[in-house]
Amino acid sequence: MKTVVVTGVSTGIGRGAASVLVRRGWRVFGSVRRDADARALKRDLGEAFTPMVFDVEDERAVLAAADEVGDSLAGTTLGGLVNNAGASFSDPLLVQSVADFRKQIEINLVCVFAVTRAFAPLLGADLTRRGDKGRIVNISSVGGRMGPPFLGAYAASKHGLEGFSESLRRELQFVGIDVVVIGPGSVKTAIWDKAEATPLDHLAGTIWEQPFRGFTAWMIENGRRGLEPEQVGEVIAKALTVRRPKTRYAAVKGHLVNATLPALMPRRTVDRMMGRQLGLLPGVRHEGH
C-alpha cells in the first residue's frame, strides 16, 4: 500500500482527493486544523486515513508532522505529497491591505515551500530510504496562468507556485522525484456560500463597489456549476500514478472556452472582454458613481 500526504483535507479539493485516494488503495495522511474535522474525516474515510492536526503556517508543526509520517514509513519512501492547502483573499488591489496581500503569498506559496522541504526527504531525497521515489503534486489554479481582476494577490501566489514548481521539478529530477502541477477551474465547495455572505462594507462608496459585486456574483454562479471535488481528486490520482505524467493538468469544466481560448487570445482582447463583462472599461460608470 502506497502512502500519500495531502494538506488541507477538511473540505473541497483536499477532501475529494483524500476520498478518491483511499478508494484506490492508498494510505492517506491528511492535514486539518481542527480536531472536529479530524474526527469526522476518520469516521468517514476509515482506517486507511490518518488525520494530522496542524496549520501549514506553523513550520514547527509541519516538521513534527513529517517526523510522524517518517516514523510510520519505517525507512521506506513516501509515495506522494499533495500540496493542496491554500486560501483566496479577493479584493481590488488598490483597496486590499498589505497585510492581506502578504498573508496570501505566505499561505499559498511560502507554506508550500516549507511543507515541500519538510517532506522531500521522505519522498526519496534522502537516498537511504528504500522504495520508488515519490511525486509532488502542487495544486495551482487557472489563476496560475492568468490574472483575473480582484484576485491579484491570489493570482500572484499561484503564478509564483507555478514558477516554484517548474524550478523544483528541474532540480529534483537529479534524485528522481517528479513534480506535477494541477490547475483547477471552478470547483463546487462551501466556499461559495461563504463568499455570498461576506460583507463588502469596506468598498461602499468607492469606484470598485459595483464592479466587485458583479465579479463576486459571477464567481459564485460559476463556482456552483463547477467540477465536483472528487473529479479534481481523480486528476490528482492520475498525476500520482500514471507512468509518464504531464507536467501540468488543467482540471477545468468547459476547457475550450474557459482555458484554451483565453490562453490563445491576445491579452488586450481578454482585458476588454473582462472589462466589458464587469464594467471595468474606461468611461463606464455604474449608477451612484
140 domain residue, yes or no: yes
222 domain residue, yes or no: no
- Binning pLDDT at 50, 70 and 90, where does residue 286 land? very low
Find the helix packing angle between 267-278 and 209-224, rounded to 10°. 100
Confirm whether 249 is a catalytic residue. Answer: no
Q: Does residue 52 or residue 221 have the better pLDDT? A: 52
Percent above pLDDT 90 for the chain: 84
User: What contacts 183, CB < 8 A, 6 or more positions away?
Assistant: 140, 141, 142, 144, 145, 158, 162, 248, 249, 250, 251, 252
Alpha-carbon distance of 170 to 166, in angstroms, equals 6
206 domain residue, yes or no: no
pLDDT given at position 284? 55
60 domain residue, yes or no: yes
76 domain residue, yes or no: yes
Choose the weakest-confidence range: 86-90, 160-164, 186-190.
186-190
Judge contact between 173 and 123, C-beta under 8 A. Answer: no
Which CATH number fits the domain that encloses residue 60?
3.40.50.720
Q: Region 230-252: what's the mean pLDDT?
A: 97
Q: What is the DSSP string of 97-123?
A: -HHHHHHHHIIIIIHHHHHHHHHHIII
216 domain residue, yes or no: no
Helix (H, G, I), strand (E, B) or coil at 133: coil
215 domain residue, yes or no: no
Q: Report the domain count for the chain.
A: 1
With 80 as the cut, is the pLDDT of residue 194 above it?
no
Averaged pLDDT score across all residues of the chain = 93
Range of 247's domain?
A: 3-191+227-257
- Binning pLDDT at 50, 70 and 90, where does residue 195 land? confident
262 domain residue, yes or no: no
Catalytic-role residue among 89, 154, 192, 208: 154
Q: Region 260-282: what's the mean pLDDT?
A: 88
What does pTM read for this prediction? 0.93
pLDDT given at position 288? 39
